[in-house]
């Protein structure tokens, strides 16, 4: 049996985020939680690998509060076989360093694996650090920004890594972790049987003790970084708005506006 492990994160649905007009802060209450959009591509790729290889099990892992169970079930409905929820008060306030440590310890408990997948970054923290962190803890290579997989088999991958000016073609032998981009695939709509499996699935909850995590490396105390303060950026306001129908000279007006502002 071959094994693919996918790391996902439950995040607030940014499209539903609202800003309080008085305090200019984000309103988090009532915002639905979704699977981090980039992770959907990782899930889809894992399921495609399973379909291609056969005899392959896809396990999806997340670290989060008990409610993150819903994200894992959604992943199962898309075709993942089973899931693990890492949930423990001791994990709370972990930064990316500590989070990647916890996730790598979970992989250690699972044991054998062939491929690890994650999304490029989460849309709440936007750090893109956890994927490379997990791989480094495990001592395996990690390729970020993967937008095309030419060939993948157990112990081998040939892929494209997107960069500023195009892409690199990269080959890896052995185990590896990939963080993926949207371009890689189109996530499927959950199947009926997948949804039924998701309802029935028993999802184990692993604590810090279960995965043998060093208490000094997890949670607030285990995190090298500290948030000093969080604040809202200044609100962007709309400016001039002109109807081209009423004012045919609007292209010229735009040109002089940009000139005045020294933009062009």
Partner 1 sequence: MMSSKYDLTDEQKELVAIAREIAEKKIKPIRAELDETQEFPYDIVKIFGQSDLYRVFVPSEYEGLGMGVYESSLITEELSRVCGGIALAYAGSLLGTFPILLFGNEEQKKRFLPPIASGEKLAAFCLTEPEAGSDASNVRTTAKKEGDYYILNGTKQWITNGGVAGLYSVFANIDISRGIRGITAFVVDRDTPGFSIGKKENKLGIRASNTTELIFNNCKVPAANMLAKEGQGFKVAMKTFDMSRPGVAAQALGIAQGAYEEALKYAHERKQFGQTIYSFQAVRFMIADMAMKIEAARALVYQSAKLADAKDPDSGPYSAMAKAFASDVAMEVTVNAVQVLAGYGYMKEYPVEKMMRDAKITQIYEGTNQIQREVIATHLTKELSRLEKK
Partner 2 sequence: MGFEKKIVIIGETRGCKIHHVTYELTSKAAELAGKINAEVVTLVCGHEIEKGDLERLFKTGAHRAVVVDSPELVLVNDDHYLRDIADFIKSEKPDMALAGATPFGRALVPKLAITIDAGLTADCTELGIEEGTGLLLQTRPAFGGNLMATIKTPEKRPQMSTVRPKVFKINETYGNPVNIVKKDHIPGKSRIKMLQTVKDLEQVINIAEADIIVSGGRGLGSKENFALIFELASKLNAAVGASRAAVDAGWIAYSHQVGQTGTTVSPKLYIAVGISGMIQHQVGMKSADCIVAINKDPDAPIFNIADFGIVGDLFDIVPKLSKIME
The residues binding partner 1 (CB under 8 A) are 188-196
Nearest to 61 by CA among 109, 94, 1, 13: 109
**Partner whose footprint covers residue 154, from partner 2, partner 1, none (CB < 5 to 8 Å by kind):** none
* Shorter beta-carbon distance to partner 1: residue 192 or 231: 192
132 interface partner picked from partner 2, partner 1, none, CB below 5 to 8 A per type: partner 2
Contact 42, 183 (CB under 8 A): no
Q: Which is nearer to partner 2, 82 or 136 (CB)?
A: 136
We find the least distance from the C-beta atom of residue 151 to partner 2, in angstroms, to be: 12
**CB under 8 Å to 147, separation ≥6 — which residues?**
160, 161, 162, 167, 180, 181, 183, 184
Q: What is the DSSP letter of 177?
A: E
Q: Quick one: 158 or 188, whose CB is closer to partner 1?
A: 188
List the single partner that 200 binds among partner 2, partner 1, none, CB under 5 to 8 Å by kind.
none
Residue 41 CA to its chain's centroid (Å) = 9
Residue 143's binding partner among partner 2, partner 1, none (Cβ under 5 to 8 angstroms by kind) is partner 2
Q: Min. distance of Cβ 15 from partner 1 in angstroms? A: 14
Closer residue to partner 2 in complex, CB, 141/203 = 141
> Measured between alpha carbons, how far is residue 24 from residues 5, 33, 232, 241 in Å?
40, 22, 6, 24
As measured in angstroms, the least distance from the Cβ of 204 to partner 2 is: 26
Nearer CB in complex with partner 1: 193/259: 193
Residue 148's Cβ-count burial label (10 Å; 0-12, 13-18, 19+) is middle
The residues, ordered by sequence, that sit 6+ positions from 246 with a Cβ below 8 Å of its Cβ are: none
């Amino acid at each position: 049996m071959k094994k693919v492990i996918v790391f996902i994160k439950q995040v607030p649905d940014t499209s539903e985020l609202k800003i309080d007009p008085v305090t200019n802060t984000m309103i988090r209450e009532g915002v639905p939680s979704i699977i981090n959009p980039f992770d959907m591509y990782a899930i889809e790729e894992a399921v495609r690998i399973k379909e291609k290889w056969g005899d392959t099990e896809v396990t999806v892992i997340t670290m989060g509060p008990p409610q993150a169970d819903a994200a894992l079930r959604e992943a199962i409905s898309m075709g993942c076989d089973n899931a693990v929820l890492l949930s423990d008060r001791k994990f709370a306030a972990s930064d990316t360093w500590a989070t990647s440590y916890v996730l790598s310890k979970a992989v250690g408990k699972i044991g054998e694996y062939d491929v690890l997948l994650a999304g490029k970054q989460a849309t709440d923290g936007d750090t893109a650090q956890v994927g490379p962190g997990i791989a480094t803890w495990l001592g395996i290579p990690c390729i970020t920004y993967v937008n095309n997989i030419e060939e993948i088999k157990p112990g081998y991958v040939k892929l494209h890594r997107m960069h500023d000016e195009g892409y690199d073609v990269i080959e890896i032998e052995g185990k590896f972790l990939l963080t993926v981009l949207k371009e890689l695939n189109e996530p499927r709509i959950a199947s009926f049987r997948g949804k039924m499996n998701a309802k029935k699935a028993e999802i184990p909850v692993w604590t810090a003790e279960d995965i043998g995590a060093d208490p000094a490396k997890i949670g607030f105390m285990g995190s090298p970084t500290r948030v000093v303060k969080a604040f809202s950026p200044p609100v962007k306001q709309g400016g001039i708005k002109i109807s081209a129908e009423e004012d045919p000279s609007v292209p010229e007006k735009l040109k002089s506006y940009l000139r005045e502002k020294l933009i062009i």
